[in-house]
Amino acid sequence: MPSGTRHGTKPNPDQNSSTPDDAAPDFAPDDVSENPLSPPDNSFRTQGNAGDRSSKHDESHLPLSSGLYLVATPIGNLGDITFRALDILKRADIILCEDTRTSGKLLSRYGVKTKRIAYHEHNAAKLRPEIMDRLGKGQGLALISDAGTPLINDPGYKLVRDCKAEGFNVTAAPGASSPIIALILSGLPSDHFFYAGFLPPKTMARKKELARFAPIPGSLIFLESPKRLAASLVDMAEMLGGTREAAVTRELTKMFEEVRNGTLDELAAHYAEQGAPKGEVVVIVGPADETGNEPSPEDIDARLSDLIKTHRTKDAADILAKETGLKKRDLYNRALALAKPSDD
């Protein structure tokens, strides 16, 4: 275990054993690796079916080293669980789940019978002291979300922060993550990217947030509700530029996985006509055009004229400055001139 981490008290493997089958085998404490990244020999065995007797001969009943284990779970295809994730989930004292019923489907599939406790945004503050107490007693706790990698748009970072502050070991068993999978399937540049999560549901707040993201020099990753997808794409086209390349991905790793590429204008038109798609949606917006060619005065006037129809002059200039890199003061003065009534 890394220096500065804290073990807590080791639980007795024989405690609460009621039958010979439940008793822990005779082993020295050193047989259980103190480094969670290097588990005991033979602990990672190919799992049989949930009901297969052969699965009872693995070593999942040995306790984990004390600490918090962040375990990624599949985002759709249950076959994407890793051997290491299953080993940790079987050996943990407790599994902290975003929703115990949702996680129960996955755990049942692989014969994981570890006790589950709900840990979500509504009870996290109340439950953290109990979790810290368990860690102090030497327990190994696994944290999972409903799907994908914990802490990505899910509760957990405050728990990790508290564990690190107290010196408890924190490690992760990596796996599926829908933002990364969507990015690599989109065919858009992946050398620089920014994960923005969910945008605000209301139009004005959404546009304000998009304006902040416009100057970021990389691909943008958004999660979105299918019902709001069409409206969000319209706002993205307005605030980020309708000609920007993008991709709408849905049902990733599932039977009806789809990746639809096009410009933001094209995608907005498609979903406005077709309606809300089914399934989980991730939108990837490619980087802004970096050709270095400044827009023509005619293009600037056209864009400003469009923006001042729905925004204050100052805000219109600010939006276009972020889109083009031009000086905000110059754009503001031009917007004022365009807003003046004609003398003709």
Task: Give the pLDDT mean for 270-297.
Answer: 85
* pLDDT of 344 above 70: no
Fold of 179-285: 3.30.950
Alpha carbons 45 and 304: distance in angstroms, whole number: 63
Per-residue confidence band for 52, with pLDDT thresholds at 50, 70 and 90: very low
Q: How far is it, in rounded angstroms, from Cα 168 to Cα 43? A: 23
- Between 5 and 73, name the one with better pLDDT: 73
Per-residue confidence (pLDDT) for residue 245, from 0 to 100: 96
Residue bearing the bigger pLDDT, 153 or 39? 153
Q: What is the pLDDT of residue 196?
A: 96
Compute the distance between CA of residue 185 and CA of residue 159 in angstroms, rounded to an integer.
32
Q: What is the mean pLDDT of the chain?
A: 83
Average pLDDT over residues 323-336: 85
pLDDT class for 36, splitting at 50, 70, 90? Answer: very low
AA identity, residue 22: D
pLDDT of residue 155: 81
Euclidean distance between the first and final Cα of the chain, in Å?
80
Work out the pLDDT band at 63, boundaries 50, 70, 90: confident
In the chain, where the domains are located: 30-176, 179-285, 297-339
Phi-psi region of 292 (alpha: psi -120 to 50; beta: other; left: phi over 0): left
237: closest CA among 259, 262, 258? Answer: 262
Q: Percent of the chain, pLDDT > 70?
A: 80
> pLDDT at residue 261 above 60?
yes
pLDDT, residue 287, reads 93
Region 34-40: mean pLDDT is 39
Range with lowest mean pLDDT among 21-30, 79-88, 173-182, 277-286: 21-30
Work out the pLDDT band at 93, boundaries 50, 70, 90: very high
Out of 26-30, 54-58, 111-115, 320-324, pick the least confident.
Answer: 26-30
Domain 30-176, CATH number (from 3.40.1010.10, 3.40.50.2300, 3.30.565.10, 1.10.10.10): 3.40.1010.10
13 CB contacts (<8 Å, ≥6 apart)?
Answer: 24, 61, 62, 63
89 or 32, greater pLDDT? 89
Q: Can you state the angle between helices 229-240 and 313-324, rounded to 10 degrees? A: 80
Q: How far apart are CA 181 and CA 178, in angstroms?
A: 5
Q: Are 229 and 248 in contact (CB under 8 A)?
A: yes
- Establish whether domains 30-176 and 179-285 are of one fold: no
- Secondary structure of residue 322 in the 3-state scheme: helix
Looking at residue 174, what DSSP letter applies?
Answer: -
- Which helix (H) or strand (E) element contains residue 206? helix 203-213
pLDDT per residue as tens digits for the range 204-255: 999 999 999 998 999 999 999 999 999 999 999 999 999 999 999 999 999 9
Packing angle of the helix pair 297-307, 313-324 (nearest 10 deg): 140
* Beta sheet of 67-71, edge-to-edge order: 116-118, 94-97, 140-144, 67-71, 170-173
Across 311-319, average pLDDT? 88
With contact defined as beta carbons under 8 Å apart, do 68 and 160 qualify? yes
